[in-house]
Amino acid sequence: MAIACSLVLLAILTRHIGIDQQLRCLNRDVQTLFDGIDPLQEAFIAADVFPSTSRHYVPSSARRERAGQLKMQQQHLRQRYRISQTSMLATYVALLLLLSNTGLLALRTLIDWDWLVTLSLYLFIAGILVFLMGVGLALLDVYRSRRCLLEEFHERLPINRITVFRVKLPLTSQRLGLRRTQPKLPVSSQ
């Protein structure tokens, strides 16, 4: 069980690192958007092409809309990060409980104390429960990430803007396939 817990922990850690990298990239995008500096304008200022232009300008409506979208994505990623972090910590605790269970069973072989078996069993049950809680939180994170992706997709393409084309193909009375160009020869029975 400790090996299974370790493998699940590796998968959760990989997912957690991916969410962390997405959050860092999104924070960088939000920072550059709220700095109010257009990269093209920054290049012109650096080259002294337009020395009188102001470095700070009022964002356009598209920029404000993009800022709102980025903030919403940032909020969703932060929630997913917290869930992933809780899942990771629960799986770490489960691994610790399962390894201590194994340690207590090994200690029981050296020392003849019967209560170590009972304590080991309780640690095993607690480890399994905490492990299932960590896996459940990881599944919740996966569900929310798919849900956020679908919500973003529906925001970009509202249903009323999608047109459905129906194509009607004419049905022929002939079967599709190869046509015979020669007539069928009668079969003689001999």
In this structure, how many other beta carbons lie within 10 angstroms of the beta carbon of residue 116? 18
Specify the range with the lowest mean pLDDT, choosing from 21-25, 80-84, 91-95, 150-154: 150-154
pLDDT at 56: 46
pTM: 0.62
Mean pLDDT of 2-12: 89
Does the pLDDT at position 93 exceed 90? yes
User: Quick one: which of 123, 94, 125, 136 has its CA closest to 4?
Assistant: 94
On whether the CB atoms of residues 83 and 137 are closer than 8 A, the answer is yes
On whether the CB atoms of residues 99 and 91 are closer than 8 A, the answer is no
CA atoms of 131 and 124, how far apart (whole Å) = 10
Contacts of 81 (CB under 8 A, 6+ apart): 16, 19, 20, 23
pLDDT at 171: 58
pLDDT at 54: 46
Torsion 52-55-58-61 (CA) sign:
positive
CA atoms of 32 and 158, how far apart (whole Å) = 28
Does the pLDDT at position 88 exceed 70? yes
Specify the range with the lowest mean pLDDT, choosing from 2-16, 25-39, 70-84, 135-149: 25-39
Query: Residues 76, 9, 17, 83: what is their CA dihedral angle, to the nearest 10 degrees?
Result: 20
Arithmetic mean of pLDDT over the chain: 76
Confidence band, pLDDT 50/70/90 cuts, at residue 57: very low
More confident residue, 134 or 163: 134
Give the angle 23-28-32 at the CA atoms, nearest 5°: 150
